[in-house]
């Protein structure tokens, strides 16, 4: 049986296209079959090798959704939190892909439901990093009510609300002032953006909770729900948005099993000079 491997790259970067050709050649040398985006539906896919930043990895996850195919990212972007390797280790990634020398790690996703006031139809979405509820008019804010598990919690005007997974805690939610959550923590996050309120703090809730945002009828602006910044659902005043743990996780092929702390320090270039460490408990 042919071992098909999807290669997905950033289409506008010449360096990425050149690297993709090198990866494809290496896979063929090891008896594997590299495929392109147009061939995704033609059969099983053992692995997806993604060349680019986190945006390209999110696009790959969208392409192979519904399969059990793991992703491995080679970072060609700036931070690349979802990427597992850097571009100077491409040959090692190809070798380990051929030898199946990786561990598959499942990451939580989100399922999103939007109900508009003028219809009983439900609009569905999903996200790996976050679902962001944002104002659609730059000069106006939205009035929202937020709730957890069917109970109202607070009401305020804001520019938006970010509802995120632990994986997304280092993405949009981080920029909005939310906490960094280790990826093995079973939790979801709610972070208001520029809220006009005394109590509008980031929240961390359990994995079985339901986070809700209502766009109040008195809202000054309509809202837009963005799933990973890629898929849009309009939410006019009176809309109700529910976000729960996704039924289908995303699978990442891990080559480096170092602690998340090391990744955090490396990606953000955090200063650790002076850290001596404590004695381990007996």
pLDDT in tens, the chain (282 residues): 679 999 999 777 777 888 899 999 999 999 999 999 999 988 899 999 999 888 899 999 999 999 999 999 988 866 678 888 877 788 999 999 999 999 999 999 999 999 999 899 999 999 999 999 999 988 899 999 999 999 999 999 999 999 999 999 999 999 999 999 999 999 999 999 999 988 889 999 999 999 999 999 999 889 999 999 999 999 999 999 999 999 999 999 999 888 999 989 988 889 998 898 866 655
Q: Is 130 annotated as a binding residue?
A: yes
Q: Is 156 annotated as a binding residue?
A: no
Predicted local distance difference test score (pLDDT) of residue 152: 96
**Residues 136, 201: Cα–Cα separation, whole Å:** 23
Q: Is 53 annotated as a binding residue?
A: no
Q: Is 170 annotated as a binding residue?
A: yes
Q: Is 174 annotated as a binding residue?
A: yes
Predicted local distance difference test score (pLDDT) of residue 196: 93
Q: Is 65 annotated as a binding residue?
A: no
Q: Is 81 annotated as a binding residue?
A: no
Please say whether the beta carbons of 168 and 129 come within 8 A: yes
Q: Is 187 annotated as a binding residue?
A: no
Q: Is 101 annotated as a binding residue?
A: no
Predicted local distance difference test score (pLDDT) of residue 138: 87
From 29, 41, 44, 54, active-site residue = 54
**What are the phi and psi torsion angles at 160 (to 5°)?**
170, 180
Predicted local distance difference test score (pLDDT) of residue 252: 95
> For this structure, is 88 an active site residue?
no
Predicted local distance difference test score (pLDDT) of residue 71: 95
């Amino acid at each position: 049986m042919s071992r098909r491997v999807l290669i997905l790259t950033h289409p506008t970067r010449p360096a990425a296209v050149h690297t993709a050709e090198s990866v494809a050649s290496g896979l063929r040398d090891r008896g594997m079959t590299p495929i392109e985006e147009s061939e995704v539906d033609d059969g099983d896919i053992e692995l997806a090798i993604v060349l680019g930043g986190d945006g390209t990895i999110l696009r790959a996850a969208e392409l192979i959704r519904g399969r059990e195919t793991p992703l491995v990212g080679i970072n060609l972007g700036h931070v690349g939190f979802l990427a597992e390797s850097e571009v100077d280790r491409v040959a090692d990634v190809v070798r380990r892909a051929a030898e199946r020398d990786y561990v598959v790690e499942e990451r939580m996703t989100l399922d999103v439901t939007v109900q508009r006031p003028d219809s009983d139809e439900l609009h569905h979405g999903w996200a790996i990093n976050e679902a962001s509820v944002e104002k659609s008019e730059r000069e106006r804010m939205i009035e929202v009510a937020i709730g957890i598990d069917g109970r109202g919690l607070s009401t305020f005007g804001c520019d938006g609300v970010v509802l995120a997974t632990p994986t997304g805690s280092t993405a949009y939610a981080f920029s909005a002032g939310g906490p960094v959550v280790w990826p093995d923590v079973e939790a979801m996050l709610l972070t208001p953006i520029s809220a006009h309120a005394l109590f509008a703090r980031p929240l961390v809730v359990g994995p079985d909770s339901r986070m809700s945002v209502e766009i109040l009828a008195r809202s000054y602006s309509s809202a837009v729900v963005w799933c990973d910044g890629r898929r849009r659902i309009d939410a006019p005043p009176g809309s109700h948005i529910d976000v729960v743990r996704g039924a289908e996780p995303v699978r990442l092929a891990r080559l480096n099993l170092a602690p998340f702390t090391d990744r955090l320090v490396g990606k953000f270039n955090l200063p650790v000079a002076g850290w001596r460490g404590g004695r381990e408990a007996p």
